[in-house]
Protein backbone atom coordinates (compact mmCIF):
# COMPACT_ATOMS: atom_id res chain seq x y z
CA UNK A 1 0.00 0.00 0.00
CA UNK A 2 1.45 3.47 -0.86
CA UNK A 3 2.61 5.39 2.19
CA UNK A 4 -0.06 8.13 1.95
CA UNK A 5 -2.80 5.47 1.95
CA UNK A 6 -1.18 3.74 4.92
CA UNK A 7 -1.17 7.05 6.80
CA UNK A 8 -4.85 7.67 6.06
CA UNK A 9 -5.66 4.15 7.28
CA UNK A 10 -3.63 4.84 10.43
CA UNK A 11 -5.86 7.86 11.26
CA UNK A 12 -9.08 6.05 10.39
CA UNK A 13 -8.08 3.11 12.59
CA UNK A 14 -7.17 5.38 15.51
CA UNK A 15 -10.52 7.16 15.24
CA UNK A 16 -12.25 3.84 15.70
CA UNK A 17 -10.07 2.62 18.58
CA UNK A 18 -9.76 5.92 20.51
CA UNK A 19 -13.13 7.55 19.79
CA UNK A 20 -13.41 11.15 20.95
CA UNK A 21 -10.12 11.12 22.94
CA UNK A 22 -7.15 13.44 22.35
CA UNK A 23 -5.24 10.18 21.77
CA UNK A 24 -6.55 9.91 18.21
CA UNK A 25 -4.17 12.74 17.43
CA UNK A 26 -1.25 12.37 19.87
CA UNK A 27 -0.61 10.65 23.19
CA UNK A 28 1.26 13.69 24.50
CA UNK A 29 -1.67 15.14 26.49
CA UNK A 30 0.15 18.16 27.92
CA UNK A 31 1.59 19.15 24.56
CA UNK A 32 -1.90 18.98 23.01
CA UNK A 33 -3.09 21.32 25.79
CA UNK A 34 -0.17 23.66 25.06
CA UNK A 35 -1.11 23.70 21.38
CA UNK A 36 -4.70 24.61 22.26
CA UNK A 37 -3.48 27.47 24.49
CA UNK A 38 -1.28 28.78 21.68
CA UNK A 39 -3.99 28.65 19.02
CA UNK A 40 -6.37 30.45 21.40
CA UNK A 41 -3.96 33.40 21.55
CA UNK A 42 -4.72 33.98 17.86
CA UNK A 43 -8.51 33.73 18.06
CA UNK A 44 -10.45 36.91 18.74
CA UNK A 45 -13.41 37.22 21.09
CA UNK A 46 -15.40 38.76 18.23
CA UNK A 47 -17.24 37.03 15.40
CA UNK A 48 -14.76 34.83 13.59
CA UNK A 49 -15.07 32.05 11.01
CA UNK A 50 -12.46 29.34 11.41
CA UNK A 51 -11.49 26.36 9.29
CA UNK A 52 -9.42 23.60 10.88
CA UNK A 53 -7.88 21.47 8.12
CA UNK A 54 -6.84 18.07 9.45
CA UNK A 55 -9.29 18.40 12.34
CA UNK A 56 -9.31 14.69 13.21
CA UNK A 57 -12.13 13.92 15.69
CA UNK A 58 -12.57 17.64 16.51
CA UNK A 59 -11.05 17.34 19.99
CA UNK A 60 -9.36 20.78 19.78
CA UNK A 61 -12.24 22.38 17.87
CA UNK A 62 -14.69 21.61 20.68
CA UNK A 63 -12.33 23.37 23.06
CA UNK A 64 -12.18 26.44 20.78
CA UNK A 65 -15.99 26.46 20.50
CA UNK A 66 -16.28 26.23 24.28
CA UNK A 67 -13.88 29.12 24.90
CA UNK A 68 -15.07 31.45 22.12
CA UNK A 69 -18.87 31.76 21.92
CA UNK A 70 -18.78 33.96 18.79
CA UNK A 71 -16.80 31.69 16.50
CA UNK A 72 -18.10 29.26 13.92
CA UNK A 73 -15.96 26.32 12.86
CA UNK A 74 -15.57 24.10 9.82
CA UNK A 75 -13.45 21.05 10.50
CA UNK A 76 -12.14 19.12 7.51
CA UNK A 77 -10.24 15.84 7.44
CA UNK A 78 -9.67 13.15 4.83
CA UNK A 79 -10.13 10.35 7.39
CA UNK A 80 -13.83 9.55 7.01
CA UNK A 81 -13.96 7.68 10.31
CA UNK A 82 -12.50 10.68 12.16
CA UNK A 83 -15.23 12.86 10.63
CA UNK A 84 -17.91 10.32 11.61
CA UNK A 85 -16.61 10.50 15.20
CA UNK A 86 -16.43 14.33 15.10
CA UNK A 87 -20.04 14.52 13.89
CA UNK A 88 -21.16 12.06 16.57
CA UNK A 89 -19.62 14.24 19.30
CA UNK A 90 -21.06 17.36 17.64
CA UNK A 91 -24.57 15.89 17.56
CA UNK A 92 -24.38 15.36 21.34
CA UNK A 93 -22.94 18.84 22.00
CA UNK A 94 -24.22 22.38 22.44
CA UNK A 95 -22.32 23.54 19.32
CA UNK A 96 -24.51 22.13 16.54
CA UNK A 97 -25.36 25.58 15.19
CA UNK A 98 -21.77 26.80 15.16
CA UNK A 99 -19.84 23.91 13.70
CA UNK A 100 -19.71 21.45 10.83
CA UNK A 101 -17.32 18.60 10.06
CA UNK A 102 -16.77 17.46 6.49
CA UNK A 103 -14.50 15.06 4.62
CA UNK A 104 -11.82 16.62 2.41
CA UNK A 105 -8.23 16.14 1.30
CA UNK A 106 -5.89 19.08 1.87
CA UNK A 107 -4.18 18.30 -1.47
CA UNK A 108 -7.42 18.34 -3.47
CA UNK A 109 -8.40 21.97 -3.84
CA UNK A 110 -11.42 21.01 -6.01
CA UNK A 111 -13.17 19.75 -2.90
CA UNK A 112 -12.41 22.75 -0.71
CA UNK A 113 -15.33 24.78 0.70
CA UNK A 114 -16.27 27.54 -1.74
CA UNK A 115 -16.02 30.25 0.87
CA UNK A 116 -13.44 32.31 2.74
CA UNK A 117 -12.56 32.15 6.43
CA UNK A 118 -11.08 34.65 8.88
CA UNK A 119 -8.70 32.02 10.19
CA UNK A 120 -7.43 28.71 8.86
CA UNK A 121 -5.67 26.33 11.26
CA UNK A 122 -3.38 23.52 10.13
CA UNK A 123 -1.92 21.67 13.07
CA UNK A 124 0.35 18.60 12.78
CA UNK A 125 -1.24 17.78 9.43
CA UNK A 126 1.26 18.98 6.82
CA UNK A 127 3.75 16.52 8.32
CA UNK A 128 1.57 13.66 7.09
CA UNK A 129 2.09 14.67 3.46
CA UNK A 130 5.62 13.19 3.54
CA UNK A 131 7.10 15.43 0.87
CA UNK A 132 8.22 19.08 0.59
CA UNK A 133 6.25 19.63 -2.62
CA UNK A 134 3.05 18.23 -1.14
CA UNK A 135 3.49 20.42 1.92
CA UNK A 136 4.01 23.56 -0.19
CA UNK A 137 1.04 22.64 -2.39
CA UNK A 138 -1.15 22.22 0.69
CA UNK A 139 -0.10 25.62 2.07
CA UNK A 140 -0.87 27.23 -1.31
CA UNK A 141 -4.26 25.48 -1.31
CA UNK A 142 -5.03 26.73 2.20
CA UNK A 143 -4.33 30.28 1.03
CA UNK A 144 -7.38 29.95 -1.25
CA UNK A 145 -9.52 29.81 1.91
CA UNK A 146 -8.58 33.33 3.06
CA UNK A 147 -8.74 36.85 1.66
CA UNK A 148 -7.62 39.12 4.46
CA UNK A 149 -7.52 36.42 7.08
CA UNK A 150 -4.67 34.38 8.48
CA UNK A 151 -3.35 30.85 8.40
CA UNK A 152 -2.05 29.42 11.67
CA UNK A 153 0.55 26.80 10.80
CA UNK A 154 1.46 24.75 13.86
CA UNK A 155 3.85 22.01 12.83
CA UNK A 156 7.16 20.44 13.89
CA UNK A 157 10.29 21.51 12.04
CA UNK A 158 13.28 19.38 11.03
CA UNK A 159 15.97 21.78 12.25
CA UNK A 160 14.80 21.55 15.81
CA UNK A 161 14.78 17.78 15.81
CA UNK A 162 18.48 18.05 15.00
CA UNK A 163 18.94 20.67 17.73
CA UNK A 164 17.04 18.61 20.31
CA UNK A 165 19.09 15.51 19.47
CA UNK A 166 22.31 17.46 20.00
CA UNK A 167 21.06 18.23 23.49
CA UNK A 168 20.05 14.60 24.08
CA UNK A 169 23.50 13.40 23.01
CA UNK A 170 25.05 15.71 25.62
CA UNK A 171 23.07 13.70 28.18
CA UNK A 172 23.93 10.29 26.70
CA UNK A 173 20.41 9.79 25.35
CA UNK A 174 19.80 8.21 21.93
CA UNK A 175 18.54 10.35 19.06
CA UNK A 176 14.82 10.69 18.54
CA UNK A 177 13.60 10.04 15.01
CA UNK A 178 10.49 11.14 13.20
CA UNK A 179 7.52 8.76 13.38
CA UNK A 180 7.02 6.66 10.21
CA UNK A 181 4.04 8.79 9.17
CA UNK A 182 5.71 12.20 9.62
CA UNK A 183 8.00 14.44 7.65
CA UNK A 184 8.74 17.57 9.65
CA UNK A 185 8.93 20.87 7.79
CA UNK A 186 12.33 21.36 6.14
CA UNK A 187 14.23 24.63 5.74
CA UNK A 188 13.20 24.47 2.07
CA UNK A 189 9.50 24.58 3.01
CA UNK A 190 10.15 27.35 5.54
CA UNK A 191 11.89 29.37 2.79
CA UNK A 192 8.81 28.86 0.61
CA UNK A 193 6.59 30.15 3.42
CA UNK A 194 8.72 33.27 3.92
CA UNK A 195 8.94 33.92 0.18
CA UNK A 196 5.19 33.67 -0.39
CA UNK A 197 3.52 35.00 2.76
CA UNK A 198 3.86 37.71 5.33
CA UNK A 199 4.94 35.79 8.38
CA UNK A 200 3.33 37.87 11.10
CA UNK A 201 4.49 35.65 13.92
CA UNK A 202 6.99 32.86 14.11
CA UNK A 203 7.93 31.56 17.49
CA UNK A 204 8.91 28.48 19.26
CA UNK A 205 6.45 27.97 22.10
CA UNK A 206 7.45 24.42 22.99
CA UNK A 207 11.17 24.61 23.78
CA UNK A 208 10.96 24.40 27.59
CA UNK A 209 8.46 21.56 27.34
CA UNK A 210 10.79 19.61 25.06
CA UNK A 211 13.88 20.28 27.20
CA UNK A 212 12.12 18.90 30.27
CA UNK A 213 10.00 16.13 28.72
CA UNK A 214 12.48 14.90 26.09
CA UNK A 215 15.83 15.47 27.81
CA UNK A 216 15.66 16.05 31.57
CA UNK A 217 12.89 13.54 32.32
CA UNK A 218 14.31 10.72 30.12
CA UNK A 219 17.75 11.38 31.60
CA UNK A 220 16.39 11.03 35.15
CA UNK A 221 14.34 7.98 34.16
CA UNK A 222 17.23 6.25 32.39
CA UNK A 223 20.24 7.19 34.46
CA UNK A 224 18.87 7.73 37.95
CA UNK A 225 15.76 5.68 38.62
CA UNK A 226 15.75 3.06 35.84
CA UNK A 227 12.12 3.59 34.81
CA UNK A 228 10.29 4.50 31.62
CA UNK A 229 8.80 7.85 30.73
CA UNK A 230 5.06 8.48 30.79
CA UNK A 231 3.33 11.26 28.83
CA UNK A 232 0.98 11.85 31.76
CA UNK A 233 3.72 12.27 34.36
CA UNK A 234 3.70 15.18 36.77
CA UNK A 235 7.05 16.20 35.29
CA UNK A 236 5.37 16.81 31.93
CA UNK A 237 2.57 18.73 33.63
CA UNK A 238 5.17 20.92 35.29
CA UNK A 239 7.03 21.29 31.98
CA UNK A 240 3.85 22.62 30.39
CA UNK A 241 3.81 25.49 32.91
CA UNK A 242 7.41 26.65 32.45
CA UNK A 243 8.08 29.92 30.64
CA UNK A 244 9.69 29.25 27.30
CA UNK A 245 13.47 29.19 27.04
CA UNK A 246 15.82 28.11 24.28
CA UNK A 247 15.10 26.84 20.79
CA UNK A 248 14.70 23.10 21.21
CA UNK A 249 10.97 22.69 20.68
CA UNK A 250 9.92 20.73 17.62
CA UNK A 251 6.56 22.46 17.44
CA UNK A 252 6.56 25.97 16.00
CA UNK A 253 3.80 28.40 15.24
CA UNK A 254 3.72 30.53 12.09
CA UNK A 255 0.92 33.01 11.50
CA UNK A 256 0.67 33.79 7.80
CA UNK A 257 -1.19 36.43 5.84
CA UNK A 258 -1.26 36.94 2.10
CA UNK A 259 1.23 39.32 0.53
CA UNK A 260 -0.42 42.37 -1.06
C1 LIG B 1 -1.61 14.34 13.98
S2 LIG B 1 -3.29 14.47 13.50
C3 LIG B 1 -3.60 16.14 14.04
C4 LIG B 1 -5.06 16.38 14.29
C5 LIG B 1 -5.40 17.77 14.75
N6 LIG B 1 -5.04 18.76 13.75
C7 LIG B 1 -4.72 18.09 16.04
O8 LIG B 1 -3.79 18.92 16.02
O9 LIG B 1 -5.06 17.50 17.06
C10 LIG B 1 -3.19 14.66 11.74
C11 LIG B 1 -4.54 14.77 11.08
O12 LIG B 1 -4.34 15.20 9.74
C13 LIG B 1 -5.22 14.48 8.92
N14 LIG B 1 -4.66 14.47 7.55
C15 LIG B 1 -3.49 13.96 7.16
N16 LIG B 1 -3.33 14.12 5.84
C17 LIG B 1 -4.44 14.77 5.39
C18 LIG B 1 -4.87 15.19 4.11
N19 LIG B 1 -4.15 14.94 3.01
N20 LIG B 1 -6.04 15.86 4.01
C21 LIG B 1 -6.81 16.07 5.12
N22 LIG B 1 -6.47 15.65 6.36
C23 LIG B 1 -5.29 15.00 6.49
C24 LIG B 1 -5.27 13.10 9.55
O25 LIG B 1 -6.39 12.35 9.16
C26 LIG B 1 -5.26 13.44 11.02
O27 LIG B 1 -6.58 13.60 11.49
The tens digit of pLDDT for each residue in 210-242 reads: 999 999 999 999 888 878 889 999 999 999 999
pLDDT for the residue 194 = 98
251 part of a folded domain: yes
Centre of ligand 1 from the C-alpha of residue 3, in Å: 15
Query: The domain that contains 149 carries what CATH number?
Result: 3.40.50.150
d(CA 249, CA 206): 5
Q: What is the pLDDT of residues 241-252, one digit of tens each?
A: 999 999 999 999
pLDDT for the residue 259 = 96
167 part of a folded domain: no
- Indicate the number of domains in the chain: 1
Q: What residues does ligand 1 touch, defined as CB less than 6 Å away? A: 11, 25-26, 54-56, 59-60, 77-79, 82, 105-107, 123-125, 128
- Closest by CA position to 243, among listed 198, 212, 208: 208
224 part of a folded domain: no
235 part of a folded domain: no
137 part of a folded domain: yes
Centre of ligand 1 from the C-alpha of residue 124, in Å: 7
Please, are residues 76 and 51 in contact by the beta-carbon 8 Å criterion? yes
121 part of a folded domain: yes
Nearest residue CA, atom 27 of ligand 1?
56
Please check the confidence at residue 114 and state whether its pLDDT lies above 90: yes
Please check the confidence at residue 260 and state whether its pLDDT lies above 90: no
Nearest residue CA, atom 14 of ligand 1?
54
215 part of a folded domain: no
227 part of a folded domain: no
Please check the confidence at residue 6 and state whether its pLDDT lies above 90: yes
Domain that holds residue 16: 3-161+179-205+247-258
> DSSP secondary structure string, 197-243?
EEEEEEEE--HHHHHIIIIIHHHIIIIIS-----TT-HHHHHHHHSP
pLDDT for the residue 203 = 86
- Closest by CA position to 96, among listed 88, 105, 84: 88
Enumerate residues 6+ apart whose C-beta is below 8 A from 45.
Answer: 68, 70
Please check the confidence at residue 201 and state whether its pLDDT lies above 90: no
Please check the confidence at residue 4 and state whether its pLDDT lies above 90: yes
Ligand 1 atom index nearest CA of 26: 1
Confidence of residue 135 (pLDDT cuts 50, 70, 90): very high
Q: What is the pLDDT of residues 67-78, one digit of tens each?
A: 999 999 999 999
Q: What is the pLDDT of residues 84-98, one digit of tens each?
A: 999 999 999 999 999
**Gyration radius (Cα) of the chain, Å:** 18
Amino acid sequence: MPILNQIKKHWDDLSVSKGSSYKTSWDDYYMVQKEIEEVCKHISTGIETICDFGCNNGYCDFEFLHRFPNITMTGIDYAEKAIIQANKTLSESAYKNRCEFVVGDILDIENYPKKKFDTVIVKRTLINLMDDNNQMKAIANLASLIDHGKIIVMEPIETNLYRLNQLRRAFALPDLSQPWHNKYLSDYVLEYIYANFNVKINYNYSSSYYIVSRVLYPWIATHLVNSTVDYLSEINRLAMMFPNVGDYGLQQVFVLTKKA
